[in-house]
Amino acid sequence: MPPLSLEEAQTEILCAARSLETEILPLEMAEGRILATDVWAKTALPPFAQSAMDGYAIRAEDTIQGSGVELQVIGSVAAGHLPQEALRPGTALRIMTGAPLPGGCTAVVKREDTVEAGDRVRITRVLSPGENIIPVGIDIQAGEQLFSKGEMITPSILGLLASLGEAVVPVFRKPRIAILALGDELVEVYEPLSPGKIRVSNLYTIAAQVNRYGGIPLHLGIARDNLADMYQKFVGGQSADLFLTLGGSQRGDYDLVDDFLLAQGGKIIFREVALNYCRSLIFGELWEKPLLGLPGSPIASRVSFEVFVRPLLWKLAGRQSLQKSRISALLLDRITAPPHHRIVVPLKVFFQEDAWKAIPLFRERAPSSPSLLQANGLVYLAPGQEILPEQKVDVELWESPD
């Protein structure tokens, strides 16, 4: 079977994903979670007409004859309290910001436009009806749809839900992502290095990415290059909603992801994608759950995660939008795609001299160039496309640039 295109592979992966079950959380625990239902306003906001400033509640028509009119002050009302009587012609009520309006009030005059004299107040200018009044529902009308199922709860959304009295909120459960690194050459970060061994850095990078994008990483550790050890490690992740393997997805003698899937009654949906860094990607099913086999190289596993796993994780988490953050940046070096291949190029993006700039990162680099492991974004190039220095590029961000 020939390698799938980028779009074909993304479609296959996302079609296999289903949103998870829901749970009810206290509002204070819901930030960053995904709404499991539409949210409609049960009440208006604000729920009553109120004063926009400290001053006097008046009848605007009492000032129609011009400035200098004097009114009798019949009381006062502060925020959180109700006025004790309604206004009558020729009267005013001292009022504080946010306090409910008394009956008959059609304007609020700010204190700076008045002269107080005992129980009377002189109004120094003419007021129009509605001045300095915050009407009912100016922010939100009762019955208005505020948010849709699949939106992420931001601090702003959380605050608005609190304003409307929503003490609990239904959200999708966080997806559990089991991550297993494969290879006899790998050792844990706390183990000493011996000849021929390397530390398993990408296990921690991918777990951090899972956590950043709303999943719960299940750290399965390192499996050696044999099916028995792979089984023992995989069993520890049976509660997962998605399996990720790091390494073992090539076609070498010790690359055993294919063999393991078939031995466990799973299936291989596709292997190989026509995209650099992701060519050896495997997508399959293990124990009726999706499995993505990522390349073992730290940069290739990270690129593959951003291109394929992040959208899948978001869909499992119930997110409606799978669009990633993008910015336009000035490219600082030439990049060229081969004539017949689409490619992605990792970038180091930063802000300098009032502009976003991007350095393309390659394995062969000058000593002064950033390492591939410092990448924080990607650019996609069509076959044969060339982008020259100082041209603008559309950058897909991995994380917020400096």
Contacts of 397 (CB under 8 A, 6+ apart): 324, 325, 326, 327, 349, 376, 377
Diameter of the chain by CA atoms?
Answer: 97
> What's the pLDDT band for 29 if we cut at 50, 70, 90?
very high
> What gap in Å lies between CA 306 and CA 185, rounded to an integer?
25
Q: Give the pLDDT score at 373.
A: 76
pLDDT confidence tier of residue 191, bands split at 50, 70 and 90: confident
Confidence at residue 248, expressed as pLDDT on a 0 to 100 scale: 74
Cβ pair 123, 58 in contact under 8 A: yes
d(CA 67, CA 62): 10
Angle, CA 154 vertex, CA 41 and CA 23 arms, to 5°: 75
Per residue in 120-149, pLDDT (tens digit) is 999 999 999 999 999 999 999 999 999 999
When pLDDT is averaged across residues 343-358 and rounded to a whole number, the result is: 90
Residue 356 CB-density burial (10 A; 0-12 exposed, 13-18 middle, 19+ buried): middle
Check residue 37 and give its pLDDT: 94
CB-count burial class (<10 Å; 0-12, 13-18, 19+) for 371: exposed
Beta bridge partners of 107: 58
- 326-397 folds as Beta-clip (2.40.340)
Quote the CA–CA distance of 188 and 134 in Å, as a whole number: 61
Residue 369 pLDDT exceeds 70: no
DSSP 295-321: -SSHHHHHHHIIIIIHHHHHHHTT-S-
- In words, the CATH class of domain 22-45+138-172 is alpha beta
What is the structure's pLDDT at 401?
A: 66
Q: Which CATH number fits domain 50-134: 2.170.190.11, 3.40.50.150, 3.40.50.800, 3.40.50.720?
A: 2.170.190.11
Say what percent of the chain tops pLDDT 70: 96
Question: Span 152-163, mean pLDDT?
Answer: 93
The per-residue pLDDT for 365 is: 54
How large is the average pLDDT for residues 191-220? 91
Look at residue 8 in the predicted model and tell me its pLDDT: 93
Fold matches, 6-20+174-316 and 22-45+138-172: no
Closest CA to 344 of 374, 318, 313, 383: 383
Distance between CA 351 and CA 335 in Å, rounded?
20
Residue 50's H or E segment, with its range, is strand 50-51
Per residue in 292-338, pLDDT (tens digit) is 999 988 889 999 999 999 999 999 999 989 988 899 999 999 999 99
Q: Of 312, 315, 306, whose CA–CA distance to 398 is shortest?
A: 306
What is the per-residue pLDDT for 308? 95
Confirm or reject CATH 3.40.50.300 for domain 6-20+174-316, answering yes or no. Answer: no
Q: How confident is the model at residue 58, as a pLDDT?
A: 96
CB 134 within 8 A of CB 52: yes
For the cut 90, the answer to whether the pLDDT of residue 91 exceeds it is yes
137 Rama class: left (phi>0) / alpha (psi -120 to 50) / beta: left
- For the chain, domain boundaries: 6-20+174-316, 22-45+138-172, 50-134, 326-397
Which of 99-108, 176-185, 337-346 shows the highest mean pLDDT?
99-108
* Amino acid 252: pLDDT: 61
Give pTM, 2 decimals: 0.83
